[in-house]
Structure 1
Amino acid sequence: MTDSDLHIRRARESDLSELIRLFEEDEHGGHGDTSDEHAYDDYVKAFHIIDQSLNEQLYVAEQGGEVVASFQLAFLRTLRGRGGLTGVIEAVHTRSDKRGQGIGSKLLEFAVSEAKRRGCRLVQITHRSDRDGTRAFYERAGFSPDYTGFRMHFK
């Protein structure tokens, strides 16, 4: 893959069907993503909220005119750290038939570059603790394990 083969851009509403399929194929995520037509309006509503936000951006990577990957980048201003800005990379997904081709690395490079451009003091990313391959991938990309997190899910 050459850099010119992959185009990273802001997501558009017309990308939603491809994005939903991308999220749906994540067998480990357990996020309840589905291409069921009754759920589509939930995705449209969320897309518009993200798209209109000054602090959240949803990106896709296109290859050959198809969406092959996606990630979301959020910006969190904290009082701690003298008002520093943190970039939070979320929901990094590469289509299963495209993994191992360097696409994920390009997504991370783009996200880190955008976080620096926005003036972030750091960028962070989380992953499921049972995904050792993902951890190794992030470490190869220059991230280091730092904090252990916890979650509380609501139904």
Structure 2
Amino acid sequence: MDATTELLIREAERKDLPAIVAIFAGDQLGGHGDTTDPAAFGDYVAAFEKITASLLQTLYVAVLGNEVVGTFQTALHTSLSGRGSSSLIIEAVQTREDMRGRRIGERMMRHAIAQARERGAGKVRLTSNALRGDAHRFYERLGFARSHFGFVMPLK
């Protein structure tokens, strides 16, 4: 990052969607089927509207200058187990490929952790694709520990 340019982390706005979608579409490991095809853009708009309408979910962007260079999403989850404990779930953490190695991901994660504390969460949780060895080392460097084994069942 240029010393004269400050990284800003803020809630995503509708105008950020093309840049967010481009970041997801550029992800070779994720396998989520994201695309910049204009025919699919309505799906992203519908998802954005659901996320922004929720009191428990927030979509964020990291902005450098006037460019979106990263994104992540959080959801506050409260469970009866653990005596009603809450956790902040972090998902869809992505830094634009040409911006990796500049500590943008670290800043995004630290922002999410601060949000968890502010919202009274007892822990922060995230999942990461088993193929993302670099991401796993990154999360461990930030203090995350491997804990659960996850399962997925596609319904479509």
1:149, distance to aligned residue in structure 2 (A): 0.7
Structure 2 residue aligned with 1:126: 127
TM-score, L = length of structure 2: 0.96
Aligned to 2:18, the other structure's residue is in SS state: helix
Aligned to 1:47, the other structure's residue is in SS state: helix
Structure 1 residue aligned with 2:89: 88
Q: Report how many residues are paired.
A: 155
Contact 2:5 2:65 in 1 (8 A): no
Moved more, 110-119 or 145-154: 145-154
1:84, distance to aligned residue in structure 2 (A): 1.0
Distance in 1 between residues matched to 2:55 and 2:4, nearest whole Å: 28
Q: In the superposition, relative to structure 1, how do residues 93 and 108 fare at CA in structure 2: closer, same or farther (>3 Å)?
A: same
Structure 2 residue aligned with 1:102: 103
Superposed CA RMSD in Å reads 1.2
Distance in 2 between residues matched to 1:31 and 1:52, nearest whole Å: 23
Structure 2 counterpart of 1:122, one-letter code: K
1:130, distance to aligned residue in structure 2 (A): 1.6
| Structure 2 counterparts to residues 21-100 of structure 1, below 5 A | 21-100=22-101
TM-score, L = length of structure 1: 0.97
Aligned to 1:87, the other structure's residue is in SS state: strand
Contact 2:29 2:131 in 1 (8 A): no
State the Cα deviation string for residues 73-96 of structure 1 (Å, max 9, x = none): 001110011111110000000000
Contact 2:8 2:62 in 1 (8 A): yes
Distance in 2 between residues matched to 1:72 and 1:143, nearest whole Å: 17
Structure 2 residue aligned with 1:149: 150
The percentage of aligned residue pairs carrying the same residue is: 44
Query: Structure 1: where are the runs of 5+ without partners?
Result: none
Query: Structure 2: where are the runs of 5+ without partners?
Result: none
